[in-house]
């Protein structure tokens, strides 16, 4: 079975995924990292940030190649984005050509209070995050919900909204683990 787990930056997804990985048979595959590794192997980029500067057709081909590889894997959690906030608006994190290859059984969207997410972003010196307002974070989480439901309509997969309470990532992980088969 293949599932997608997503959430906005600062929601605590990495921490929750670490717990899920330790307590399940599922392998975690980061979609963006796989795309980067594929692009690097063929000499297109030297760092992950260069991917978004490639021609759109090249990026789409990398998405297709990565999704095809993941679509052949069993018992995998795809760590990716439901939507990508850009200066021109929100983009689908899982366009139709990716969904077709992945054959996802379930989508999990990790969420938290936007005030908490803002605070987590401000306290994380290891990352360079966008300086979104609390309202912008709230909107992005709502947009992620819309995209998840739209993907479900296309794929027939279930959608799960997982709350990640402050200091209790085990609760979010347990909610995910209880739904993995």
Compute φ and ψ for 130, nearest 5 degrees: -65, 145
> Which residue bears the tokens 């090249």?
58
Residue 25 main-chain phi, psi, to 5 deg: -90, 0
Please state the residue numbers annotated as binding site.
7-15
122 and 19 Cβ atoms separated by less than 8 Å: no
Got the DSSP string for 114-170? HHHHHHHHHH-TT-------HHHHHHHHHHHHHHHHHHHHHH--EEEEEE--TT-HH
The rounded distance, in Å, linking the Cα atoms of 91 and 85 is 6
Q: Binding site for ATP: residue ranges?
A: 7-15
Instruction: Report DSSP state, residue 80.
Output: -
Cα separation, 34 vs 172, in Å, equals: 25
């Amino acid at each position: 079975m293949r599932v997608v787990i997503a959430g906005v930056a600062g929601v605590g997804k990495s921490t929750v995924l670490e717990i899920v990985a330790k307590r399940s048979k599922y392998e975690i595959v980061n979609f963006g990292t796989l795309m980067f590794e594929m692009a690097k192997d063929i000499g297109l980029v030297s760092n992950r940030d260069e991917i978004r500067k490639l021609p759109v057709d090249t990026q789409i081909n990398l998405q297709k190649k990565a999704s095809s590889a993941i679509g052949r894997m069993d018992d995998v959690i795809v760590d990716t984005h439901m939507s990508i906030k850009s200066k021109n608006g929100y983009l689908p994190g899982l366009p139709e050509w990716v969904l077709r290859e992945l054959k996802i059984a379930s989508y999990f969207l990790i969420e938290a209070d936007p005030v908490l997410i803002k605070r987590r972003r401000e306290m994380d010196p290891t990352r360079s995050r966008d300086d979104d307002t609390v309202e912008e974070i709230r909107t992005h989480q709502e947009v992620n919900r819309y995209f998840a439901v739209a993907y479900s309509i296309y794929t027939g997969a279930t959608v799960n909204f997982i709350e990640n309470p402050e200091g209790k990532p085990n609760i979010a992980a347990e909610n995910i683990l209880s739904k993995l088969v």
